[in-house]
Amino acid sequence: MFDYNFHWRPVLKTLPDLLDAALLTLEVAILAMLIGIVIGLCLALIRLHMKGSLYWFATSWVELARNTPALFQLFFFGFGLGAFGLHLSPYLIVLTALSFNCAGYLAENFRGGFLAIPETQMRSARSLGMTAWQAYTRIVIPQVFRIVYHPITNQIVWCVLMSSLGMLVGFRELSGETQFFASRTFRIFEYFAATAVIYYVIVKLILVASRILAARLFRY
């Protein structure tokens, strides 16, 4: 039957290290999100308003990011670029791969958001004498932001979870750290169970924070 003896002590002893690694996970996920939001917004605007090579560049980015396995994207920035003599640190590999992936997904969310704003919003803003920039930043973007808010939240969660692939390129974030301790102590099940709980808590915290923020931001 079931004769495995659980040993939680090693896990507890290294818990501070795991939590440190969790912070690193969060850091890289949030950074990738911020980069992804900025680039995704640019990609969406390019795809909406431009033609020619820039359009094709943005479209290829979106297609590759959304339609290839995230793991392959990670390996591309790790080993793929390595083959061309460009060696990034594990941290940078994960950050670029996550940013690349997020930008592609968010670009489509942003694009949908922009398309959902009726053209008359822009027109009436301009008819009041607002510059194109003012109309965009005061009228269009805030409405787009509301539309993409929940997709962005989902993307942060996805980012946190996907950063666990980092252990495959030697990044000592939460999963990498767990892997390291697990193989040293052979307490594999305990370590990964504990880490799963940490991921779960992080994700729940993000979702709750997002809900609280949404209630404060969107009163309409």
Return d(Cα 117, Cα 140) in angstroms, integer. 7
Shortest reach from residue 113's CB to another protein, in Å: 13
Residue count, binding to another protein (CB under 8 A): 20
Tell me the two tokens of residue 146.
Answer: 């509301």
- Between 48 and 117, CB nearer to another protein: 117
Interaction pattern, residues 77-116, with another protein; x per rule: CB under 8 A: ----------------------------------------
Q: Which of 2, 5, 16, 219 binds another protein (CB under 8 A)?
A: 219
Amino acid, single-letter form, for residue 96 = T
Tell me the two tokens of residue 207.
Answer: 């979702």
Rule CB under 8 A: say whether 216 interacts with another protein.
Answer: no
CA distances from 1 to 4, 7, 134, 187 (A): 9, 18, 70, 19
Torsion of CA 168, 173, 175, 178, to 10 degrees: 110
Tell me the two tokens of residue 142.
Answer: 């805030």
H/E element, 178: helix 174-185
- Between 5 and 120, CB nearer to another protein: 120
Shortest reach from residue 23's CB to another protein, in Å: 34
> Which residue in this structure is represented by tokens 């915290």?
205
Shortest reach from residue 134's CB to another protein, in Å: 6
- Between 216 and 219, CB nearer to another protein: 219
Shortest reach from residue 218's CB to another protein, in Å: 8
Interaction pattern, residues 117-156, with another protein; x per rule: CB under 8 A: -x-xx-xxxxxxxxx--x---xx--xx--x----------
By CB atoms closer than 10 A (0-12, 13-18, 19+), residue 178 is buried
Return d(Cα 109, Cα 113) in angstroms, integer. 6
Cβ 112 vs Cβ 147: under 8 Å: yes
Shortest reach from residue 43's CB to another protein, in Å: 24
Shortest reach from residue 157's CB to another protein, in Å: 25
- Between 2 and 133, CB nearer to another protein: 133
Eight-state DSSP code of residue 220: -
Q: Which residues bind to another protein, rule: CB under 8 A? A: 118, 120-121, 123-131, 134, 138-139, 142-143, 146, 219-220
